[in-house]
Each structure stands twice: as C-alpha cells, then as structure tokens.
Structure 1
Amino acid sequence: MTSTDARTADGTPGTGGYAAARSRLLTQGAPPGPPRRAALAALTDQWLAELFAAGTAGTAGTTDAGGAHGVSLVAVGGYGDGALSPHSDLDLLLLHDGHDSTAVAALADRLWYPVWDLGLALDHSVRTPAQARRTAGEDLKAQLGLLHARHLSGDPGLTSALRAAVLADWREQAPARLPELQELCAARAERHGELRYLLEPDLKEARGGLRDITALRAVAASWLADAPREGLADARRTLLDVRDALHLATGRAGDRLTLQEQDQVAADLGLPDADTLLRQVYGAARVISYAGEVTWREVGRVLRSRAVRPRLRALARGAFGRTTAGAPVAERSPLAEGVVEQDGEVGLSRTARPERDPVLVLRAAAAAAQAGLPLSPHAARRLAASVRPLPTPWPAEARDRLVSLLGAGRPSVQVWEALDAEGLITRLLPDWERVRCRPQRTAVHRWTVDRHLIETAVRAAGMTRRVDRPDLLLVAALLHDIGKGEPGDHGVAGERIARDMAGRIGFDRADTTVLATLVRHHLLLVDTATRRDLADPATVRVVAETVGAQSTLDLLHALTEADALATGPAAWSAWRGALVGDLVERVSALLAGDEPAAPRAPVPTAEQERLAVEAFRTGGPVLALRARTEPPAEEPSGEPLGAELTLALPDRPGVLPATAGVLALHRLTVRTAELRTLDLPDAVHDAPVLLLAWRIAAEYGSLPDGTRLRADLVRALDGSLDIAARLAERDAAYPRRRGGTAPPPRVTVAPAASRHATVIEVRAQDAPGLLFRIGRALERAGVRVRSAHVGTLGANAVDAFYVTTSGGAPLPAREAASLARALEQAL
C-alpha cells in the first residue's frame, strides 16, 4: 500500500487498501514463518504511520516528515517485537508530552477507530512518559510490554527517551521485580500446565510457551542473569509458526492447539501428521522450559549472593579492619572422580577430562541425582562438546552409574532433563529418539512417552527393596514402553528393542532375557487381573508359564505398580492393586509347586449374601446403592467418587443389557463392573442367583434414588421399558460432540484363557449405552454370560466376558469367532 491509496472524505487513509494487501499476504504469500510475520508487521506499521500522519496534518508542531513534536505512536508487547501473527492484538501506546490533551484525544480517535472498523483486536493506551513509567512501576505486565517498545511514527525522541527510562527503571528495580515475575510464571504454569506434556497445549500461557520467552528476555534485559541461548530462537520460531497456522486454520485469535485443529495445522506446516506436529511443539517447549529452570536458578543464586555480600564485608571489616574485594568464592566439594559440588550445583572438577573419560557423563549425572542437586548447565554443555562415546558393550561402571541415576528417585528427573537438553541422552541411548517427545493420545496418560518412562523409574526407585535385582527393575522401568510408536503391539516391538539395548548397556544373556520378558509382558498382570477370572486355574497357569520364575514375577509385580502410578490417577487404585496382588499370590503358589484349586465361586460378603437371599426369596431384583463420600486413603484423589451398586436377582436372560441400559438412561458412567453367579445353600440347583457389583459415577448432577433404579430395572426386565428406543431418542435430541477420531472397536477371542468358558475381549471408545449394546448382542447370540469384568481407562472401555453355551460349555472355535464378529458389527 502507498500513500495514494483511497482516502475517506476527511482525508484519513482508507482501510480498503490495507485490508486487501493484508488478505493477499496471509492467503497467497509466504508460508508461516519469520518473513511473513515481519512482512505483516511492516505492512501494519506503514498503515498506522499513514493514519498517524493524517491525524496530525496541519496541527501545531508538525514535522517535515508528516509527524509531530511531543507525540508519537509506539508499538509495545508482541507487536513491539516487529513480528505479527495473523490475528494477534495490536498493542499500541500513544505517547504525548501533555501539552494539548484535546488534540491528543482527537488523534487517538483517528487511530483507534479504523483499527476497530477492520475487526482487528486492539490493546491501546494514551499516556505521557511519566504516566507510562508510573504504570510500569505499578503493573509488571505493563512494564514487560514497554521493554519491547518500538517507534512507529511521530516524535522519535519521545519514544527513545521513554525506552531508555523504562530500561533504566527495570535494571534498577530488577532485584525486587524478578522474584515477582518468577511468581507470575509459576502461577501461570499452575493454571495452564506444562506445554511439553499437554495433548491440547496453550502455546502462549502454558509453561514452556511464548510467555516464558518474554520472561526470559526480561531477565536478560535486567543484566542480572541470562538464559541459555542455544536453541531458544529456534524454539520461539517453532511456536510462532504453529500459532500462525492455527490462526489461519481457525480464522480467529487463539493459542490453544486443540485436537480437532491439529491435523489441519500440521498439513499447513507441511508436516506428515498431528503427532509430528506435537513432537515439534514439545521439543520447543522443552528448550524453553529448561532455559527457564536454569535462568531462574541463576537469578536466585545472584540475589542470594547480593544479600550475603554485605554481611561478608562487615565480617571482613571486623576481622581485618578492611573490606575484601570481589564476591566470595564458593568452595568445591568432591562428589565422585572428576565431579564436584559448587554453589548448589554439580559440575566438573578442574582435573576432569571428558575427552578421555567416556563414563564421566553418567558419573556426573548419577552424583548429581544422588545428591539431589541440579547438574550445572556449563558442565552439561562441556560434556556434550567433548565426551567420548561409550564402548559397546558398556563397561560395568557405566551400567552401574546408569542404575544409580535411575535409583535416585525424584531428583533424577531434573538431571535427566539437563542431559536431554544437551542431546546427551540420545548419544548414550540412540533408541531413545524413538520415544522422545512422543505424545500419548489417551486421557489416562499425563506424560509423553519419554517422560512417562522416567516417571516409572522414579516410582520403581521406591520399590527396589521388594525385589532381588533392583538394577533390572530400574532398567525395565526405563525401557518398558520403548516400543511405542512402532507398528503393531508395542510390547512385542519393545522386547526386540530392549534386547538390543540391554546387550549394548552390558547385561549378560540371562539378564537380557529377563529384561526382554519384563518389557514384553509389562501389562500382563494388570490386564489379567482386571479382565480374567482369577479363580480359573487356566488364568493362573498362563501367567506362571509366561514369567517362569518367582524372581521375574516379583520384578513384574513392582514394574506393574510403578507403571500404573506413573501413568495417572485413573490407572491405579486400591481395587486394581488388590486384584493384581491376588493374582501374584496365586501365581507364586503355582510356581512353588502348589497346583491351583478347581474353579469355585468367590465367597460373598455378608451384604452380598443378604441381597442374594432376599432376591431368591422375592424372585425379583434387590439392590444396594452406597455413595462414596470420600476416596480411600490409598486411592488417588483423581478417581471419581461416584457410588458402589450391588445388585442381586435370580438368574435369567437379559440381566446384563437391562442393568447397563437402566444405568445409561440415568446418565451413570460405569467405571468397573463384575458379574458372577452365586449358588446359595437353599437354592434349587437350576436357579442360581446373579450378583452384579458395579462402580458408577454420575455424568453430572447427583446420583439417582435406588428405588427409581430398581423400578426401572423391573420394567426393563419385563419388557415394559424399551431401553433401546429411549437411548436412541436421547441421542437424537442431545447429540454428543467429539473431537478427533476414535479407532474402531476391536473384539477378539482370548485363546486358552479358560478351560471352562470362552473369553471374549472388547476394546472400544467408551460411550453412553456401550455396555448395554454389548449385553444385548450377547443375549441375541444365545450365549450365557458366566462372568464379566468391565473396566474404563480414560476414554477407553476394556471389557472381558466369560461366555458359555446354554449347557455351560465353552463355545466351539467357529461359534466364538462368529460371536466376536457379531459384537464388532453391533458396536
């Protein structure tokens, strides 16, 4: 656009030319990146300068360049950086010397209204330099914005004077204001989470986002400390590129990268898929987060040293009659060969030679983690620049230091991240690149794959006293999900990768076999305990044959618990722990030579027996609904409280779909469910009682009354309540919105899972009425459900049904396969 563009009747530059040029730039110009952001900022600068010139034309103090003395237009904040995203705010300050407030107010109108007319977001203020400095002194966010002040038009001297004054104020006030800034960053991280682990991250506000870049620049401007610069500019560019593509994909301002937008953003950036996009975002966030950790640690060190120095000088005057010069020199305390502690960090000694000592990197890392101290960024950088590769297989010391690092517990996380920031992890373990920054698209997981592996090792470190070989437990924790991202079953892929890695790390053949077994079967115990009938000898025998030895079983038990605890609150509970413990106890007995007893019905509790007797006596359903007012002490608080529903009724067809359907009608979510038969002493042989134990939670609102549930269940069983029709009506009236695409359901027959029944496994996206549809399909197939084990992990249903023919025998193979296909079609 030029000054000859169309103007309004009063001479103000028209917005049409700017709008058209802006549209062409965003839709037909360069792809997202620094050149396009700079071009958009330059185009906007020119338009605003013309608006300013037209607004000041003919007024007193007009300059030859079309500007004015005593008034200037200044870009601040993100716009002040000279890079503009498609729908970013225009942060503008109209700066004036206070001589003619009426003329300044009129000028402000001629600037702001054209911006609003175009629908652009505007953050504006009108202030004198004194007012701007006072506001900055009172409002930290305003001060941060002024640190990026950039002159657009008008009196350049006014702008430069303000810039110099604001920078001087900031440097003078930095010792007091930087702790305030750090608190703001911490509070923001608490609200928005860690960008590097979120499935729908906020690119600006989350920890490791664009706001943290602004904070790091402010620290650098204070001259008090500086951030590590390696990779920081690239990380910022990555997040800005993604935000640009997000703005254009949604057509609006926004910083949250939602699931439904990720595929389009990835395509616009030329990336193959959304996972690649997230890995790039996570990688950038890690660089920023690490820079922030190092920078704030340095700020704290400098501020502490400033607070201590006057006291040291006073002591020196008292002892020697004079002040010692310079800052105190921190003492070096040796921690390991070539490794020292100095000033609260772990570094390298003066005699350390990384180029001659390939184990030094692991020795330093282990020493830091064991001491609970951060690894100095200078030491990590020096190691990355000069350390020699480890030989293959690793020497024993290297393997031992890796185990020591993993066994340190929580302090190992920050040390691992320091090594990762310098690229040392993938140099030590090249296969780590497979899982580095890899997202996990299930709600049950709270971390990326690589951080989950470290968190599992942290949990496993607290369980090393429970096993004979803690080193194998810790390394298995580190590697158990190494196959994620590979085609097929990640346990199978992980076994292959783990065998290779264990050999290179230096484990012998026997230990490598144990590690491979742990990685391959790390889900065996929890899957079996929650989806199989533990009273069935076949269940116990399959697990025993898989683990082979008691020592391996103990390792697998500890790994199972550590893995679940590191996954998230929904992955482990006292209930799951008890089931896994029961299975381990049964397998231990079998490994010790005790054959499992024949299948028998579990002994009912007193309440269950009372309900069953009442159901047999009345011939109808009897239920007990008990709300859980608080979680048990041993269960994670993240699990919904909900209620426990126990239902007993004489065995008859249609119980499972009827019960599940009634719960769905009342908008109750089934968390876990078990169904089994009880043979009461007084019952006739052909009329056992069905017992259903459910954990449920209300989707919203309060739990329904138990009397209403029973009344609806009676109607569903006698056919007077058409559950399918009612659910269809509700779904039509209130369609559910879902982001992204869920994989199709999968129904399989578990071979050799039981000698007394056929086990059908169902894995599907959890949804209202899912269990009703499964139960109805099983009823239509004419099979008998001997027992059911239903569980929900995040958004996924993982269910197992023990079914037999009407005569109580397992289904023939062909009928079982046909039933699985029918179930898949029904879902």
Structure 2
Amino acid sequence: EAGLPLAPATVSALAAQSPPLPVPWPPEARGALVALLGAGRAAVPVWEELDQAGVLVKLIPDWERVRHRPQRNPVHRFTVDRHLIETAAGAAAFTREVSRPDLLLISALLHDVGKGWPGDHSTTGEIVARDIGTRMGLPPADVEILSTVVRHHLLLPETATRRDLDDPVTISRVADAVGSREVLELLSALAVADGNATGPAAWNSWKASLVSDLVRRVRSVLSGTPPRPHRPFPPEQAALARHGGGAVRVNGSAVTVVAPDRPGLLWRAAGVLAAHRMAVRSASAASAGSTAVIEFVVVPEYGTPPDPATLEADLRLVLAGRLDIEQRLARRARSMRPSRVPVAPPRVTLVDDASLTASVVEVRAHDRPGLLWRIGRAFGECGLDVRAARVETLGAEAVDVFYVADRTGRPILDEQQRIQVREHVLAALR
C-alpha cells in the first residue's frame, strides 16, 4: 500500500521463517491478502517477489499448477500466473462499484486457475476455486459466489460478442446462469479487468459497449423488469436510416452501413471491404423493422488504408446492386500466394436452444481475406437469410456467429438440412 519494493532480506526471511498458515486461514490472513490485491498496480511487483521466493505456493498450494504456465491463446500478453495478478490489480479499480470488493479481488486472482488442469478451465477452475476459498476460510455462501464467478467469468464477453442481445432467449439464459445481481456486478467488473489484462485484441470499446448493454438487460430481468425487445438506434445511426436507399459512413476504422434489410446485405458489404484489402476485426449486424444496421471495425491487411471516399462509393454501388464484387474477389484470390503454414481445420456448429426464432451457426476458422464474404455467400446459396451476426477476430482466429432463418423466416429444424448447411459452409471455407 506504500508503493515501496520489498527488500531482498525481507523476502528471504518470509520464505525461510514464516510458519505455514492454519487451514482454514484466520480472518486476519484473508484480510491481508485482500489488502495486498486491493493495492492495484503496486501489488504486482510484490506478488512477483513472493512468488519467486516460493512463499505463495506455501499459502496456496494450487498456485504451483499455474506458475510460469504459458497461454494457449496468442491474444494473451502474459503467462497464466502473471495474467492472474494483472487481472486482480486491474479489478482493484472497480472495488467501489461492487458490493463485495473482497470477492471481486479473490475471484480475479483465481479466475483462470483451472488452466493448470486438463479440460475446460472454467469448469475445472470452479472446483479449484471452491477448494481454495474453503482453505482461505470463506463462509460457505461466499465460496459458492466465488466458484460461480470463476465458472462463468467468460459468460458476459462471450455472450455479448457471440449472441443476439435482442433475442429474449439470450438474456434469460444469462440471467439463469448468473442468478443474482451481486454475481452479475462481480462478473461485469471481472470482464473488464480480465479483458484489459489479456491485451488489446481481447478488449476494445466495441466489446465493452456490448458487455455493458448485456449487463443492463440482465439486470432488468433480475430486477423483475422485462428488457426492451430492441435496442433503439443511436442518433447518428437513426440519421443514416432516414436515407431511404441506404447510407454508408466511413470513420477511420469504423464502417457503418444502414440500408433496407434484404438477404445478402452483410456478406456483400463484407466483400467490398475484402476487395479493398480491409480485414474485418469485428462486426455486428442487426435489424429493426425493415432497416438493417451493420457495424464493422476494420484494419488494412497491409500498408495504408484505402481512400474512404472510394470505399464508401463502392459500398453504395453494392447496396444499389450495381457492382459485381464476386469478380473482383475472384481476381484477387487468383493473385494471392497460397499459405504454406498448416492451420487447424475450420469448425461449423449449429448451436441448439440458443434462439426460438432463428438457427444459431457458430463458425471458427483461421482468418483470411474474404472469410466473412465466403461464409455469407454460402448461407445465401443454402437459401438462408442472416438475421443478426456477431463477428470477432482474436489474433489469427475468427469466431463468427450468425442467426439465420430460411425463406419462410423460420429456423432450420430438419436434421438433414442442418447437415447440408454445415457441410456447405465448410466447403466454402476450404
């Protein structure tokens, strides 16, 4: 709390002379841990010194499983143990915003502790966090909250970026999993701290706004107030929507398309971006009435970005049906050198019970130019319309989710048709 480094002699004395803590810990020890984590950034070097001296594994034996452990996902900046203390340091900024700051700090410290064991780290982490919470002397009710937060620490960001927030099923499922406003506020703060500690590829203003919207809706349900079925367009989008033939705005890396809703709008707009060497880092598509809004966050694949006026003009031509983007992309594909680096095969999954009004298709693949265009065109060839979409690129991997319906506006129920859709999208990706 004083912001001072630990003296080497002090660290050595702690490592050599400190007796083991009784189990469960006395309240004073638990309070000291919370006070250390609550110091924020100043806690990181102190924690590192204690870790290097072997003090932490005496206090928390399970910590040994994550010490110096590398991350599997390249979006992470730190090893697992460093990421945990960085997250706890970041969570200290939100202790005034939650009713249980102690549980926020401890859950931030333990949220990825399951990565030291095989299997889904959220599932194994719940078990380990329950054991550690009991060891620390937390009351049973607090142990349950801690284990629930660790189990669902990815629930908010994954749902916000991979599900349609206007679908009532999405909100009700999150509310059922969270169970209380206390857990919701802990998960909300942890999502921000975890994302910031992971790196810029894992957290940005787009994801933050989606998570905030999801939290607001779930809080309404937990309070007994049904959420609004549709988000109103922001003022700038509402102004664009007044243009009957559609409108386009290019503002730096943000590209917004507002147009009359019709099949193929998403993938045709994505094709224009690909033709202009723009890689889609994230995207969301939604509709209200007869108007569709697509928001892209893009970066140039290399070099400088294209002229915004030219990009906007081509997007308008596509909206008007006066530009054959497929020929442009075909010429570009022929000029590209195929990659010699082997990558994992793509995966296409139809998610059951995620919506009552549409079929939810999750696509995971190695990112490459025109990926979103190919996926959307495959849906069109299957006679499907994309009702909503959440597109996210994490490092070199794309995680894209689409809400699709057939020409009658219904989800895909026939099992044979579901298999055909899956195989058709996979063929397009290959």
TM-score scaled by structure 1?
0.49
- How many Å separate the matches in 1 of 2:52 and 2:99? 34
Match of 1:823 in 2: 425
Structure 1, unmatched stretches of 5+, are: 1-369, 628-641, 680-687
Q: Does 1:590 align with 2:241?
A: no
Determine if the alignment matches structure 1 residue 603 to structure 2 residue 207.
no
CA 1:435/1:745 → structure 2, altered by over 3 Å: closer, same or farther? farther
In the TM superposition, residue 730 of structure 1 has moved relative to its aligned partner by: 2.6
Match 1:667 to one of 277, 280, 298: 277
Shift in Å at residue 518 of structure 1? 0.7
What is aligned with 1:722?
A: 327
| Partner SS, residue 401 of structure 2 | strand
| Among 293, 304, 310, the residue aligned to 1:701 | 304
C-alpha separation between the residues in 2 aligned to 1:678 and 1:702? 31
1:198-246 Cα offsets, whole Å, 9 max, x none, are: xxxxxxxxxxxxxxxxxxxxxxxxxxxxxxxxxxxxxxxxxxxxxxxxx
Residue 58 of structure 2 aligns to which amino acid in structure 1?
R
Which whole-Å deviations, capped at 9, do the CAs of 1:631-652 have from their partners, x for residues lacking one? Answer: xxxxxxxxxxx2x222234444
Matched, 1:713 2:318: yes
Measured after TM superposition, the shift of residue 691 of structure 1 is 2.8
> When the two structures are superposed, what TM-score results if normalisation uses the length of structure 2?
0.91
Note if 1:657 corresponds to 2:267.
Answer: yes
Q: Which of residues 238, 242, 249 is equivalent to 1:624?
A: 249
Given that 2:261 and 2:292 are in contact with CA atoms closer than 8 Å, whether structure 1 keeps it comes out as: yes
Q: Deviations over 1:689-725 (max 9, x none)?
A: 4332212222221323235523763698765742552
Alpha-carbon separation, structure 1, partners of 2:343 and 2:102 = 38
Q: What does residue 342 of structure 1 align with?
A: none
Is 2:11 the counterpart of 1:380? yes
Q: Match of 2:306, as an amino acid?
A: L
Alignment of 1:414-433 (within 5 A): 414-433=45-64
C-alpha distance in structure 2 between counterparts of 1:435 and 1:745, whole Å:
29
**Whole-Å separation in 1 of the counterparts to 2:316 and 2:140:** 63
Larger-gyration structure (1/2): 1
Q: Say yes or no: does 1:579 pair with 2:210.
A: yes
Match of 1:92 in 2: none
Q: Distance in 2 between matches of 1:385 and 1:529?
A: 48
Q: Return the offset for 1:524.
A: 0.7
- Return the alpha-carbon distance in structure 1 between the equivalents of residues 343 and 389 of structure 2: 24
d(CA) in 1 for partners of 2:152, 2:398: 20
Q: 2:88 aligns with which of 443, 457, 469?
A: 457
**Aligned with residue 174 of structure 2, among 518, 529, 543:** 543
C-alpha contact 2:259 2:319 (8 A) present in aligned 1: no
Distance between the aligned counterparts of 1:824 and 1:505, measured in 2?
A: 49
- The answer to whether the aligner puts 1:522 opposite 2:153 as a matched pair is yes
Q: Is the 8 A contact 1:763 1:798 kept in 2?
A: yes
**Structure 2 Cα separation of the partners of residues 474 and 412 of structure 1:** 12
3-state SS of 1:570 partner = coil
Q: 2:366 aligns with which of 759, 765, 770?
A: 765
Tell me how far 1:607 sits from its aligned partner.
4.5
Cα distance change of structure 1 residues 435 and 822 upon mapping to structure 2, 3 Å threshold: farther
Indicate the larger mover: 772-781 or 743-752: 743-752
Tell me: CA distance 1:723–1:689, structure 2 relative to 1, closer, same or farther (3 Å). farther
Aligned to 2:127: 496
User: Which AA in structure 1 matches 2:212?
Assistant: G
Contact 2:282 2:296 in 1 (8 A): yes
1:597-649 deviation line (CA, Å, top 9, x unaligned) = 4x33x333454345444344xxxx6422222xxxxxxxxxxxxxx2x222234
Alignment of 1:295-334 (within 5 A): none
Counterpart position of 2:188: 557
How has the CA–CA distance of structure 1 residues 711 and 509 changed in structure 2, closer, same or farther, with 3 Å as cutoff? closer
**What amino acid sits opposite 1:645 in the alignment?**
V
Aligned pairs for 1:83-482 (under 5 A) are 370-482=1-113
Q: 1:385 to 1:760 in 2, by over 3 A?
A: same
Does the 8 Å contact 1:615/1:689 carry over to 2?
no
- In 1, distance between residues paired with 2:197 and 2:47? 16
- The percentage of aligned residue pairs carrying the same residue is 49
The 8 Å contact of residues 538 and 755 in structure 1, kept in 2 or not, is answered as: yes
Q: 8 Å contact 2:280–2:296 — kept in the other structure?
A: yes
- Cα gap change, 1:653/1:807 in structure 2, threshold over 3 Å: closer, same or farther? same
Show the counterpart of 2:378. 777
Q: How far does residue 745 in structure 1 lie from its aligned partner after superposition?
A: 2.6
The structure 1 residue matched to 2:255, chosen from 641, 645, 665, is: 645
What SS does the aligned partner of 2:165 have?
coil
Q: Which has the higher contact order (CA 8 A, sep 6+)?
A: 2
Q: Residues 562 and 606 (structure 1 numbering): CA distance in 2 closer, same or farther, change over 3 Å? A: closer
CA contact (8 A) 1:727 1:769 kept: no
**1:735–1:504: structure 2 CA closer, same or farther, 3 Å change rule?**
same
Residues 662 and 716, structure 1, Cα contact 8 Å, conserved in 2 = no
User: Shift of residue 588 of structure 1?
Assistant: 1.1
Question: How far does residue 802 in structure 1 lie from its aligned partner after superposition?
Answer: 0.9
Alpha carbon RMSD of aligned pairs, Å?
2.4
CA drift of 1:818 comes to 4.7
Cα distance, 1:561 vs. partner? 0.9
3-state DSSP of counterpart to 2:273: helix
Q: Distance in 1 between matches of 2:215 and 2:271?
A: 35
Kindly indicate whether the alpha-carbon contact (under 8 Å) linking 2:21 and 2:59 is maintained by their aligned counterparts in 1. yes
Judged with a 3 Å threshold, the aligned counterparts in structure 2 of structure 1 residues 762 and 713 are, in CA distance, closer, same or farther, namely: same
Task: Tell me if the contact between 1:674 and 1:694 (Cα under 8 Å) persists in the aligned partners.
Answer: yes
Shift, 1:819, TM fit: 2.8
The CA distance in 2 between the partners of 1:392 and 1:432, in whole Å, is 16
2:287 aligned residue: 677
Greater Cα shift, 528-537 or 509-518: 528-537
How far residue 371 of structure 1 moved from its aligned partner, in angstroms, is: 2.3
Q: 1:586 to 1:610 in 2, by over 3 A?
A: closer
Misfit runs of 4+, over 4 Å: 714-721
Q: Distance in 1 between matches of 2:315 and 2:174?
A: 40
Cα shift at 1:529: 1.5
CA contact (8 A) 1:456 1:477 kept: yes
Offset of residue 514 of structure 1? 0.8
- Secondary structure (helix, strand or coil) at the match of 2:257 reads strand
Q: 1:746 and 1:516, CA in 2 relative to 1: closer, same or farther beyond 3 A?
A: farther
- How far is the alpha carbon of 1:405 from its aligned partner? 1.4
Matched residues in 1 for 2:343 and 2:272: separation? 25
> What is the aligned partner in structure 2 of residue 794 from structure 1?
395
Distance of aligned partners of 1:492 and 1:397 in 2 relative to their CA distance in 1, 3 Å threshold: same
Quickly say closer, same or farther: Cα 1:505–1:808, change in 2 above 3 A. same
Name 1:507's counterpart in structure 2. 138
- Distance in 2 (CA, whole Å) between partners of 1:792 and 1:546 is 26
Work out whether residues 348 and 363 of structure 2, in 8 Å CA contact, stay in contact via their aligned partners in 1: yes
**Is the contact between residue 614 and residue 622 of structure 1 (CA under 8 Å) also seen in structure 2?**
yes
Paired residue type of 1:770? L
Letter in 2 for 1:698: P
Q: C-alpha separation between the residues in 2 aligned to 1:764 and 1:572?
A: 20
Q: Say which SS state the counterpart of residue 463 (structure 1) adopts.
A: helix
Question: Aligned AA for 2:167?
Answer: D
